[in-house]
Every structure is written in structure tokens, then in C-alpha cells.
Chains A and B, each alone.
Chain A
Amino acid sequence: MEAATRSHPPVDSPQTSRHRVPVWALAAIPLALIVAALAALLTVGGDTLGERLGPPVEEIAVERTVLRPGEIELTVRNMGPDAVTVGQVFVNDTYVDYRTTGATIGRRAAETLTLDYPWQADSPYLVTVVSATGATTEHEIPVAVETPSADGGFYGLMALLGVYVGVIPVALGMLFLPLLRRVREHWIRFFMAVTVGLLGFLAADAYLEGTEIAEAGTGAFGGAKLLFIGAGAAYLGLVALDRFLRARSERARTTGASPFQLALLIAIGIGLHNLGEGLAIGSAYAIGELALGAFLVFGFALHNTTEGLAIVAPLSAHRHPSPARLAALGLIAGAPAILGAFIGASAYNPELAALLIGAGIGAIVQVIVQLVPAIRDRAGRALYPASVGGILTGVAVLYLTGLLLST
């Protein structure tokens, strides 16, 4: 009976479970073969092709610089295919004594070199790492500034910066909510269009900044590619979150995202953006490039106030947003600036920054997609004179307030 079944298998039978080999084995057997083949290639495959032509490729770069009195600490990463052994190090044409966690840096690995050198504040330095083969790698310190030590006062300062740059401006912008709830529908659409303009400007600005930051890094983990990976992950993650929230809300399934959910998504998107902004501010502070002071705080307040406006714009139709919910939205959008400032000032890494800035871009793009239905007029058009005017107004506001921040 069984034999007969096997000899005449039904062509499109769903009863595949009757095959003798279980499904898990169909997965496990090729996996095991792949692992075995890769292991074999790793151990003996290299020998079949012989050595590389030419000398070893030595590609190292300084990923992080920490300046302490009398000491320069460099985190050096090997981005090349071969291990690199550090021979000696000179600073401004003077050989220096150094300590290291390991003179030989393996592929993709990083080691720290701590140089014994009496650097002077506010002076530029050129550090040259001479490898065991005599190859040189230069690292420029444009202006020597003591790296802030991560004590309580430092975290307090970074938290304050984050509050100034993220939380306060967003909260100020949200004060427009009562106005928005009183104006007529076409004005709401106009403000939504302004928000789209603001966000579009932020996305473009972040892209340009992220590219610059990624190029300044070592590139060991992908450089500018991380910008796109971060953007894609954030965009798809927010889309998934949006679908999840809609599935939970019966009403929303017919009417689209609820005003509060839209506001929440915008707040998350802006929060991711502010994380990147905090990162940039924290790292600039750590290397002494940030001019702290009234102008910085004022400029950011003016600049980021518009972000608060973007969050509350969808809430104009929402009857009774509770103060707690509003506060939560404000914190979601603003507080990541504090976290960003911490990371930026204490563990800055250009490629991590690129990834986070990319996430901010993806989040903003997703929010723009979410906002487009809200600016459609009765004829269903997204672009008409008033919406175009709104978008351009948003761009102009950020451009002009951004000028206040440029040094």
C-alpha cells in the first residue's frame, strides 16, 4: 500500500509531509554542507591560489582621539586585509614613547596607542604612525583641546545641552496647538504642508551632514553605506509600527492613522533626528569645536521650535489630547537629544554617528509619507498652490533659522 503511494505520487499533493525526509533535515543538510565547505576553503583553499602579489596592504586609521594632560590616546583601527604592526610613532616630527594594548592590529580590529607627549592647548598636531615595514599613516588633530572626562558634571552639562537643544524647543513649538485647533481646515492643511517642508529640509540636511561624517571615519564598517542601512531600517521599522498600531485600532482601519498615532510617529521620527543632532553637538563639544553660549541655545531653540509644531499639527482634529500625552510626545521627540549628546561626547565614532543619522533620515521620510494624505485638498491633490506655499515656507523657515547656527 505504501509502496504503491510512493510509486505514484500525486503531482500537486499538499501531503508532502508523507515524504521520508523531514523538513528540518532539508534545511540542516545543505547548511551543514555549506559550513563544511567554507571551513575547508578557509583552511586549505587559500593555499591553492598562492600569496598575494606585492607587499602586504597596510591600511590603518585613527578612529578616536582622547587628549589628557601630557598624553594623546589614539584608537587605531585596521581597515585593510592584512594585520599591521605599529613600529614607532612621532608627533610633529618628534618620536615619542607610547604604551599600547597590542602593537599588532588584526584585520578589522582596533588597538589604542597612548603617546607620552607634552601637547599644548589650542595647538594643531600631526601624529604619524610608522609601521614595522616603514609605511606611514598620518592623523591630524586640528586643535588640541583636553577631552572632557566623563564625570557627573560632564553628564550634567550634556543633559542640559540636550534639554536646550531638544526638549525645550519642541515643547515651545507644541504651544501652537490651541491655535491650530481653532483655525479652519484649509489652514490645517497649510500647516501640515509647512511640516512636510520642514521635515524634507531636515532629511536633506541630515543626509549631507551624515555623508560628511561617514567620510571622516575609517570606513572599516561601511562608511556612507551605514547611512542608507540606518535609513532603511528606521523607515521599515516605523512602517511596521504604523501597521501594528492600526491593527490594534478598530476605528483607524477605516479612517487611516488616528491623529494621535500620526503625532506619535512624527514624534518618534523627530526623536531619531534629534538623537543624531545631539550626537553632533556632543562630539563637537568633546573636541572643542562647539562654541557654547547664548547664541547656540537661542539658535537651536528657534530652529527646533518648528519641530514641536510638526508634532501637534495632526492633533488639531483631536478633541481632548491629555497633558500627559502631550508631554510624552514632547519627550519622545526631544529627549533623544540628551542621549545623543552623551554618546557624542563620550564614545563618539563617525560610523555609529552615520548609522544613527541615517535612522533619523529614514524616520523623517516615513513621517513625510504619513503626512501626505493630511495635506490633500477636497479634489485629492497633494500639490496645489497653498500646499506648495506651505512646503516652501517650511523649507524657508529652517533654512533661515539654520543660518543662525552656522559659525
Chain B
Amino acid sequence: MRIDRRQLLGGGALAAAGALTALNPHGDRARAQASSSGSSMGHGGAKGHGGGAAGATMRKGARVDHRANGFNPTDVLRDFDPGRTRRLASGRTLREWEIVAADKEVEIAPGIKYPAWTFNGRMPGPTLRAREGDRLRIRFVNGSEHPHTMHFHGIHTAEMDGVPEIGAGLIEPGQSTVYEFDADPFGMHLYHCHAGPLAEHIARGMYGAFIVDPKQGREEADELMMMMNGFNTNFDAEGNQVYAVNSIAFHYVDEPVRVRRGELVRIYLANILEYDPINSFHLHGNFFEFFPTGTRLEPTEFTDTIAMVQGQRGILELRFPHKGPFMFHAHKTEFADLGWMGFFEVV
């Protein structure tokens, strides 16, 4: 009986995820100038960076199967999901999304599979993007074997907070609910599961970025979303074995983030790392303006290193004046050596 139910749920989740992909043509790929097949940079080549005294590396020649994973971090960078939009009688814009929770094995580093719990089959989940004041309606379907919720950072009513025992509370496997609230305030926010045990539900991969643009918009830029995360592969709840930006260790070493010299680059950065108290972002050879939580239009700092506790986030803006490869990584070097390292390739 139990096995039958599992198969049913699994099949249901797959079908729902498939339908979602078909129904959701809003993925903004216009900026995907750096596709996953983009050429690697000159100094690394197919063999990749590092090894021995040249620094940390996964086993040479081994690669993650992004196709089997169902997502590629290179695409995740610029994949902003504005939802299905419709104008309400009041003149406001209504945005609707359907998010499906699904259990899924993800190869987080070459040869290491992690039994993840995901939103829409990817880690981080889809980057939901709205404009300040929009009405947002998120239909959440739980196709996982475990109860989950969706808890958004932002200003909303208690019923819509997505925590157990309040409003819809826990959404049991096979059940669904609708979260509805206004896009407020503008900035770089998060959403994540709030079921217990909370640390595990977050660590397993149930999180994503929730970006609210200011009413007047922001200056045209090459925009990137980076979620600093990690995986406690042995489930001992003591630190992590793999660290990354957008889930796959050393991914942006193997496929550097291609940006143009002189063009404004805007990075929506968040730290969702579980089991370690603090994370950081450090960029080589360049400085950036930092907007904490992205809720003010004036930067507070001009720096090359920023630290974040779990749940903290912000917006980085810079123009790269020089061409070439520039490293970026956690300046907690242990995390960097365990996978949280990448390159910008300025062309």
C-alpha cells in the first residue's frame, strides 16, 4: 500500500513539473549570452583550474551531469521568472506562479549525489521576480514525500507567512495551497520551506530568491542571481562537505561567468548556507557598490568583500574595467577550497 502511494505521488510530481515547464515560457533567457556550452577560459581549458599547489579542485576530468540534474548553474544565474501576469481591475499587476516541491537526487559535485528536496526540481528554486506593489499569487503543490511550506521574506499578513500551524500551515504530501500577498518592500529577498526540522528542510535545498524591483525600476544591467549554499552530505549537522554558489561545487571555475568589460553588472546575492554561522563573497581585481538587502537605492559600501549570516542578502553593482579571468569566492577559504569558488571571464 505504502509503496503504491509513493509511486503515485512521485508520478504526480513528475507530471506536475512537466506541465509547469510547458506552461511557463517566461524564463528570461534573453541575456543567456553565456550558455552552458560557452567556451572555457584560456588558462584552464578542459582540465580546469587548480590541483596540487595551484589550489583546490575536484577530481580532474570528472564533470557533473547537468542534464540529469535538470538545471545548469550557468543558466540559473540569469533565469528570472516573472510569472504569468494579468492586469487587475484596480490597475495593479497580478503575478501567478505554480511551485511544485519534489524529492530529487542531485549531483552536487562530480560523482557525489545528494538526496535533495527541491522547488520545481532545481536548487535554488526558481528566481521569482516582481515589481513593487504587484499582487502575487503563488500556488504551492507538495509533490514531495514530506510535508513542506513556502515562507517568503517580505511584508505580508500572518496567514500568508508559510509557517506551521498558522494560516494553511504545513502542506502535506499531495496537498496544495495558495499564498497571496503584495510585492513589498523592493529589494533582494528569499523564500524557503519552514517545516520542521527547519535546518534540514532548508539544507536539503528548499530555497530560492524573491526579487522585488523598485517602482521606477533599476538601471539597465547584466543581472545575475547568486545563492551561496552548501551540502552536509553525511547529514551529521556539523558543517558541510560541499560549498557552492547555485549548488554545484566549482561550477563557475569550469564554466566562468561571462560578462562584458565596462557594462554594468548587478549581482543579486544571498546566503542560505545551513550549519555554518557565516559566509562571505570576495571578488578579485575589482570593487563593487553594496546595497544591503537591496532596499535602498544608495549603496552603503564600496568594497571587494562582503560577509553575510544565513538569510542575509544584498545587491552588488560594478563595471569590470579590465578583460580577463577574475576569481570570486568565499573569503572563508575553507568554503572556497570545498567548492565555493568561481571565475568571471571579462570579455
The yes or no answer to B14 lying at the interface (CB within 8 A) is: no
Given A95-B249, A130-B233, A134-B241, verify A85-B56 contact (CB < 8 Å): no
Interface bin, chain A: 20 to 34
B-contact bits for A78-114, CB 8 A (1 contact / 0 none): 0000000111111001111110000100000000000
Whether a CB of chain A sits under 8 angstroms from the CB of B125 is: no
Chain B contact residues, majority secondary structure: loop
Closest B residue by C-beta to A95:
B56
| B112 lies within 8 A of A95 (CB) | no
B113, A133: Cβ atoms closer than 8 Å: yes
B110 at the interface (CB under 8 A from A): yes
**Which among B52, B113, B334 is the interface contact of A132 at CB below 8 angstroms?**
B113
User: Could you give, for residues 50-93 of chain A, a 1 whenever the CB lies within 8 Å of some chain B CB and a 0 otherwise?
Assistant: 00000000000000000000100000000000000111111001
Provide the residues of chain B in CB contact with A96, threshold 8 Å.
Answer: 51, 56-57
Given the known inter-chain contacts A130-B112, A130-B241, please indicate yes or no for A97 contacting B60, CB distance below 8 A: yes
Given the contacts A93-B334, A128-B241, A132-B113, A118 and B52 also touching, CB distance less than 8 Å: yes
Give 1 or 0 for each of B160-199: 1 = CB within 8 Å of chain A CB.
0000000000000000000000000000000000000000
Complex interface: chain B residues within 8 A of A94 (CB): 55-56, 337-338
B204 to chain A, nearest CB (A): 12
The reply to whether B338 and A93 contact each other, CB–CB distance below 8 Å, is yes
Are A135 and B233 in contact, with the CB atoms below 8 A? Answer: yes
Residues of A within 8 A of B275 (CB): none
The answer to whether A135 touches B111 (Cβ under 8 A) is: no
Measured between beta carbons, the chain B residues less than 8 angstroms from A87 are: 109-112
Report yes or no: A88 in contact with B111, Cβ–Cβ below 8 A: yes
- Confirm or deny: B309 has a beta carbon within 8 angstroms of a beta carbon on chain A: no
* Pair B111/A132 contact, Cβ less than 8 Å: yes
Residues from chain B with Cβ under 8 Å of A88 in the complex: 58-59, 109-112
Whole-angstrom CA separation of A70 from B110 in the bound complex: 23
Q: Which residues of chain B from 103 to 146 have a CB within 8 Å of any chain A CB? A: 109-114
- The residue on B at minimum CB distance from A90 is B338
Complex Cα spacing A140 to B249, Å = 24
Flag whether A377 is at the interface (Cβ < 8 A). no
Contact-residue bracket for chain B: 20 to 34
Knowing A70-B52, A128-B241 are in contact, say whether A134-B114 is a contact too (CB < 8 A).
Answer: yes
Cβ-based interface call for A116 (8 A)? yes
Asked if A136 CB lies within 8 Å of chain B CBs, one says yes
Most buried by B among A87, A90, A98, A130: A87
Q: Mark A19-56, 1 if CB is under 8 A from B, else 0.
A: 00000000000000000000000000000000000000
**Assembly CA distance A263 to B52 (angstroms):** 57
B344 CB within 8 Å of chain A: no
Instruction: Judge if B7 is at the interface, Cβ distance under 8 Å.
Output: no
B50 touches which of A97, A128, A131, A132 (Cβ 8 Å): A97
Can you name the residue of chain A whose Cβ is closest to the Cβ of B53?
A: A118
Q: Which of chain A's residues have a CB closer than 8 A to the CB of B338?
A: 90, 93-95
Any A CB within 8 A of the CB of B234: yes
In-complex Cβ contact of B231 among A89, A116, A134 (8 A): A134
A125 interface hit (Cβ, 8 Å): no
Is A399 located at the chain interface by the 8 A CB criterion?
no
Q: Which residues of A contact B111 (CB under 8 A)?
A: 85-88, 103, 132
For the complex, give the distance between the alpha carbons of A166 and B49 in Å: 52
Q: Which residues of A contact B339 (CB under 8 A)?
A: 95
A132 to B105 Cα, complex, angstroms: 12
Query: Which residues on A sit within 8 Å (CB–CB) of B56?
Result: 90, 94-96
Q: Which residues of B contact A86 (CB under 8 A)?
A: 111
Residues of B within 8 A of A95 (CB): 56-58, 109, 249-250, 337-339
A88–B114 alpha-carbon span in the complex (Å):
13
State how many angstroms separate the Cβ of B243 from the closest Cβ of chain A: 10
Chain A residues positioned under 8 Å from B53 (CB to CB)? 70, 118
B268 to chain A, nearest CB (A): 27
Given contacts A98-B59, A130-B241, A133-B113, contact A93 B337 (CB under 8 A): yes
Q: Specify which chain A residues have a CB less than 8 angstroms from the CB of B337 in the assembled complex.
A: 90, 93-95
Distance of B221 from chain A, by nearest CB (Å)? 33
Q: 18 A–B contact pairs at CB < 8 A? A: A70-B52, A87-B112, A88-B109, A88-B110, A89-B59, A93-B338, A95-B249, A96-B56, A97-B50, A117-B52, A118-B53, A130-B109, A130-B112, A131-B112, A132-B111, A132-B112, A134-B114, A134-B231
The 9 A-B pairs at the shortest CB distance, nearest first, are namely A134-B233, A94-B337, A87-B111, A87-B112, A97-B51, A136-B234, A93-B334, A118-B53, A97-B60
> Apart from A88-B59, A118-B53, what are 17 other A-B pairs with CB-CB below 8 Å?
A70-B52, A86-B111, A87-B111, A88-B112, A94-B56, A95-B109, A97-B58, A98-B59, A116-B51, A116-B52, A117-B52, A118-B52, A130-B112, A130-B242, A132-B113, A134-B241, A135-B233
